[in-house]
Amino acid sequence: METWYLLQSGAGAPDYNMALDEALLESAPQIGRPVLRFYSWTQPAATFGYSQKYAHVAAMTPLRPLLRRTTGGGLVPHDADWTYSLVFPPRHFWHRLKAAESYLRLHQWVGRAFARLQVAATLAPASQVEIPGQCFAGAEKSDLLWRGRKIAGAAQRRARMGLLIQGSIQPPPLPLDRAAWESALCREMEVAMEVRWAPLPSAQLPRQLALRLQSSKYSQPAFNQKR
């Protein structure tokens, strides 16, 4: 059995949510174990991939604030989605996986969690992009679909300090409970990966680093509109 940390951080300001994910990545070598974080938003917002052009994505959505992520991918609305992140330290085998493999494994896991809730989701066999740059307009290979509609996508960043995966669930229009889905997700990793869960110790939560990144980076137009 391998112990992973679970962080239920609740609702956060959009810039703090992005800052805490990056802070967890930067702290991954010191934390030393994978971290699964579930979080929500204090207000509607949208995020977009690190390499995207601000003016292009700004024209796609009325949602504000509009924040640049440290991961790749496309524009993601955060007005009704369920968000989570996974952080792996540099010596963990997930850090060594190729991006396509980690993406596939993640969404296989997410799909089985939905199956526990009697929701039949399938993996997209190939890319079906409808509007370039919008994460949930069409689908990429190994995205998760429900009746042909994309319901789960993710973006990644690999660096020397670890691997960060940021995921978004746009739940289907069914009577689903988010807490039940989160429990199902954790249970699936227990079964698939022989993981046991422990709360992230408060001493290892990089809150001060997150606050610095929030004020110096994610709240700043100079970063969000840099290209």
Expressed in angstroms, the distance from the first to the final Cα of the chain is 45
3-state secondary structure of 30: helix
Is 186 an annotated catalytic residue? no
Determine which one of 135, 164, 169, 210 is catalytic: 135
Greatest alpha-carbon span in the chain: 47
- Please list the alpha-helical segments (H only) found in 6-92: 14-26, 28-31, 54-58
Where on the phi/psi map is residue 189: left (φ > 0), alpha (ψ -120 to 50), or beta? Answer: alpha
3-state secondary structure of 194: coil
Active site residues: 135
